[in-house]
Amino acid sequence: MIDHAVTPLDDVTAVRFALATLPDVPRLKPAADATRFVGHACPMCGVALTATSIRWAWVVPLVHAAARATGQADRFACCADCAVKRGAADLLECSLKHTGDLLERRRVLLQAGAHHPTRWRDRPRITAALAARVDQPRVTLVAAVSLDGGAVVGWSERSGGAMALGALVHRLRSAYRIERIADGDPVMIGRARADDAVLYRVPAPLGLDALWTLIDAGALLRPAVSVVPQADDWRTSWAVLWHSMRQHRDRLDMATLFPVPVPTPAYSDKPSAMRMRAARAADAVR
């Protein structure tokens, strides 16, 4: 079986190259039907929109969504200044003066998009776990797991808002003792450039645990190299993305028809819980 990791000598380079090809948030053309928005307040700053200042902006930046709706459901009108200042930041990081239905539209679009696996196989708990991720600012990170069990995580200015990225760094520092990797030479791929890349190394053997902490904090992880989940460790499915509730329940990677392992449940050692499990096991035998 192909190993899911890359060598410690290659992981930094792999993440830098992946960041160099991370897409920009598309700059949308001015709203063609601007007349119906003239006089409306910009959702982010409250300034009245004019025929020359109106711009389209994404409800969910394209870089953060692996699946998205088409048409006008995933965009909204704002002023040109806010469209530029927002960049790749999630709407949850923006100061919305006139929210309207933007946050609800964001929630619907993200829930309909692609998600990493959860620990669960029943719909109620899957839904709750995905909702908890969606309720946090979305960022896009690039990661690679080393053979020794460590990991390298990187992002750029196209990955998300500064506040959300800063919160993730604080969480990783306090729990996993991450170390900043010194800036290397800028990576060029065609016209793409990753000289704004920020990379951190997670020490072994905490790499996979750190990646799942990021996922549960709302991050969308992109693997720097091809990743194949291992049958004996469900955490190696961190690069899998599912688009339907059926995939979450069946835990099947449709791209490879590879069944993602089910996490070993943490059973309670209380006497009452142990008696209940014994009774259920006895009933199953009868």
The alpha carbon of 12 is separated from its chain's Cα centroid by a whole number of angstroms, namely 20
Query: Does the pLDDT of residue 188 top 70, yes or no?
Result: no
How sure is the predictor about 1, in pLDDT bands with cuts at 50, 70 and 90? very low
Burial state string for 228-265 with b = 16 or more CB within 10 A and e = fewer than 16: bbbeeebbbbbbbbbeeeebbeebbbeeeeeebbebee
pLDDT of residue 74: 84
67-82 pLDDT tens trace: 554 555 688 899 999 9
CB 138 within 8 A of CB 218: yes
Q: Above 60 in pLDDT, residue 189?
A: no
Give domain limits for the chain. 1-23+137-227, 26-86+91-136
What would the mean pLDDT of 5-9 be, rounded to a whole number?
45
- State the pLDDT at residue 266: 66
The stretch 140-146 carries a mean pLDDT of 94
Answer whether residue 194 shows pLDDT above 60: no
Q: Across the strands, what pairs with 192?
A: 189
Q: How confident is the model at residue 153 (pLDDT cuts 50, 70, 90)?
A: very high
Cα distances from 84 to residues 54, 55, 192, in angstroms, run 12, 10, 20
9: pLDDT confidence band, cut at 50, 70 and 90?
Answer: very low
φ, ψ of residue 259 in degrees (nearest 5): -75, 125
Q: Quote the CA–CA distance of 30 and 77 in Å, as a whole number.
A: 9
The CA-atom distances, in angstroms, between 47 and each of 31, 53, 80, 213, 224 are 17, 10, 11, 39, 41
Peptide bond into 205 cis (omega under 30): yes
Q: Is 159 helix (H, G, I), strand (E, B) or coil?
A: coil
